[in-house]
Chain A
Amino acid sequence: MSPAYTVDSKALLKILLHAAKHPSHSVNGVLLGSVAAATGEPGSPRESAAQPAVTIVDAIPLFHSFLSLAPALEAALFQVDTYARQRGCEVVGYYHANERLTDLELGPVARKIADRIQQRNQHACALLVDNAKLGSFVQQKSQDVLQLWTREGGARGWSRAGGGSGGGSGSSARLQAAAGAAPLFMGMHGEGRHTRLHDFDDHLNDLSIDWINADLV
């Protein structure tokens, strides 16, 4: 099973705005969207095995400090789940951005949280902001700024799509991110949009803060 993941620009932009707001911290959040179990097209070169198509339509920012502490994390995951059901969509993944520019892996804390999400939705993925690609993204030389990680289940843990490290077979899942995000993001950042994004962490410090950010992007 090699799922195909599509990331809408709204989700991509919110992930980047969240990371941009807290450049010296790791940040994380949850991905909302839907899963369509597609079947192979007749006559297509692919085998007729069913290939789920996951569409990620929104990203809900959760934390920028102490990402792994349970009480806040559990409250956030529960409430996002309720929100998703209200909206008629599902929690389809987890996103993370590492605090160190040279850290390009999905670390143990991220994997642990991604595990919880994947336990409830077998098609859930993890998107890691690719710190190495940030430079060329902001210079608008490349559209590519996310790493896709999936978990094939069983004893094998999370692996990066499109070839992992060490020659092991990376996951065969595919990621299609919305085009044209780079200039949009740079425009938003220029006018300070990232300072108006608020996560669940902010909400816990001030209940009047809206962590859904429905109209931000």
Chain B
Amino acid sequence: MGSTKKQLEQDLAELEHVGTSGRAEALRSYLRLVRELKVRDSENVTVLGEELLRKHRARLGAEELWLTMEQVATAALDCRALPLAASIVTQICEKFPESLRAARMMEMLLEARGKYEDASKLIQKHLEDAPDCQMLLKRQVALEKSQGNVGAAIEALRKYVDVFQTDREAWEELGSLYVQAQMYAQAAACYEEVLLHAPASIAAYVQLADVLYTAGPGPAGANSRAARTHYAAAVELSGGTNARALYGLCAVTAQLGGLRGAADPDGLAAAAAATLVQRYAEEAPAHLLPLAQEMLRAQGLTGKAGKTAASPRK
């Protein structure tokens, strides 16, 4: 994650300093990097991409040209630079009149303009010939989301995952929609699917645990106990470096048994608290440490002020 940011920052810095002769190359390099890393940096992509297309179009081979145009149009839609987006989308659709990928761009443009009925009709029309087109099925969900119809978006996406059961991204999106609708039991089921497909993903463990914790203790504390297991797994997988997992373990232990570590027979939460304090002491700005410490104290997981942390983890 850190290296992604760094690479992008380097490319952007290069653009600040490069002279006119190197500019086209620097622009191409940056846009290519954004495509590869699949980052959403729409402000920069719109401005820099527009420049590349306006001044240096001739330098781009056919494949790079259309990839770049698709990229810049998407970013322009994201920034609501609609005239620019419309101009590029028109060119794409003229060049590739039969393409579903081009149809997707047109749908996004219609949606951005608020022409929801037209967008819906466009999707329906193409789905008739290609009912399994995942791209367009997902646009249907997005279209509902755009209009604030969370319930309809959930329905459409549920139908989708019934068919495409291994689409991790879809399960994550469905989970996040359920969270938005505050339907935490259903959200948890989705994040369990994500975990099935990504059993070594720290983020997946944390996300599921967060949802279970939010849902409330559950019958006989079942949710809390499950959350605790997943937080513990995340702490272990991350070697104690994931702050959300550490915080979560402390919180769920407090939820399980009140204070005084009654629900922490194996001392996991106490160790997590100690690790957090140590991480804050080592990494965080100084004024943030006492804020975290105060909280852990209130949860009954650390001693009085001045006591040193438990022996450092390796």
Contacts and interface: CB of A to CB of B under 8 A. Distances in A.
Given A108-B182, A207-B283, A66 B295 contact: no
B148 A71 contact: no
A121 B69 CA distance: 52
B285 A79 contact: no
B285 A83 contact: no
Contacts of B280: 207
A82 B176 contact: no
Contacts of B295: 75, 78-79, 82
Interface in B262-296: 279-280, 283-285, 287-288, 290-292, 294-295
Interface string A136-153: 000000000000000000
Contacts of B214: 68-71
A109 B180 contact: yes
Contact of B210 (A69, A100, A112): A69
Given A83-B291, A100-B146, A208 B285 contact: yes
Contacts of B1: 205
A122 interface: no
Contacts of A78: 294-295, 298
Interface in A32-74: 66, 68-72, 74
B291 A82 contact: yes
Contact of B283 (A69, A74, A208): A208
Nearest to B252: A71
A158 B155 CA distance: 29
B284 A66 contact: no
Contact of A71 (B213, B291, B292): B213
B290 A82 contact: yes
A103 B179 contact: no
A24 interface: yes
A83 B289 CA distance: 11
Contact of B247 (A102, A109, A204, A205): A204
Interface string A89-105: 00000000000101100
Interface string A173-217: 000000000000000000000000000000111011011100000
B78 interface: yes
Counting contact residues on chain A (CB < 8 A from B), the size range is: 20 to 34
A39 B78 CA distance: 49
B244 A66 contact: no
A112 B295 CA distance: 22
A207 B210 CA distance: 19
Contacts of B284: 203, 207-208
Nearest to B248: A71
Contact of B285 (A69, A71, A210): A210
Contacts of A205: 1, 243
A89 to B, nearest CB: 15
A88 B78 CA distance: 41
B213 to A, nearest CB: 5
B148 A102 contact: yes
A83 B292 CA distance: 10
Contacts of B213: 69-71
B243 A71 contact: no
A68 B211 CA distance: 9
A68 B215 CA distance: 11
Nearest to A194: B43
Nearest to A102: B148
B251 interface: yes
Contacts of A74: 251
B296 to A, nearest CB: 10
Given A79-B292, A103-B148, A210-B285, A71 B182 contact: no
A212 B288 contact: yes
A69 B203 CA distance: 14
Given A210-B285, A212-B287, 17 more contacts: A23-B78, A66-B210, A68-B179, A70-B210, A70-B251, A71-B213, A78-B298, A79-B291, A82-B294, A82-B295, A100-B146, A100-B148, A203-B284, A203-B288, A205-B1, A210-B287, A212-B288
**Minimum-distance CB pairs A-B, first 7:** A70-B214, A79-B291, A69-B210, A207-B284, A207-B283, A71-B251, A210-B285
24 contacts: A23-B79, A24-B78, A66-B176, A66-B179, A68-B182, A69-B213, A70-B214, A70-B251, A71-B247, A72-B244, A79-B292, A82-B291, A100-B148, A102-B148, A103-B148, A108-B182, A203-B288, A204-B244, A204-B247, A207-B284, A207-B288, A208-B283, A210-B287, A211-B288
